[in-house]
Amino acid sequence: MRRRELREHIFKLLFMTQFNSQDEMGEQVQLYFEGLAEGEEKDLEYIREKYNHVLEHLEDIDRQLNETSHGWKTKRMNRVDLTALRLAVYEIKYDPDVPTGVAINEAVELAKRFGGEASGSFVNGILGKLANE
User: Tell me: the pLDDT tens digits for 85-127?
Assistant: 999 999 999 999 999 999 999 999 999 999 999 999 999 999 9
CA distance 119 to 133: 22
Q: What is the dihedral of CA 27, 32, 36, 39, to 10 degrees?
A: -70
CATH number of the CATH domain containing 10: 1.10.940.10
pLDDT of residue 129: 93
How many CB atoms sit inside 10 A of residue 110's CB? Answer: 27
Q: What is the pTM of this model?
A: 0.93
Residue ranges making up the domain that contains 123: 3-132
CA distance 109 to 44: 22
**Greater model confidence, 19 or 36:** 19
Q: Give how many domains the chain has, as a whole number.
A: 1
pLDDT digits (tens, 9 = 90+) for 34-79: 888 777 889 999 999 999 999 999 999 999 999 998 888 999 899 9
pLDDT of residue 118: 94
The contacts found for 29-33 with CB under 8 angstroms, 24 or more apart, are none
